[in-house]
Amino acid sequence: MTRDPADLTVADYLDGAREMAAAPFLAHLLAEEAAQRTTDPATAAGIRASFPGPTTTRTETD
């Protein structure tokens, strides 16, 4: 992988999103970047649907 974010591809962002599935917010951010870099609106919508934003509801635990 490259160190320059400008060199990253849609596939790079999607790979990162899949790797971050256990961290939904990070996965969502990477997928959103991939969707923004995609020229096809249907593909972008599919990416966004696959990685929806995490809920902001917080549950307190003891």
- Whole-prediction pTM: 0.62
Residue 48 is predicted with a pLDDT of: 92
Condensed to tens digits (0 to 9), the pLDDT of residues 4-60 reads: 778 888 998 888 888 877 788 888 888 999 999 999 999 999 999 998 887 766 666
Residue 20 is predicted with a pLDDT of: 77
Helices (H) and strands (E) in the chain, counts: 3, 0
Contact 14, 43 (CB under 8 A): no
d(CA 52, CA 22): 13
Residue 32 is predicted with a pLDDT of: 92
Residue 62 is predicted with a pLDDT of: 63
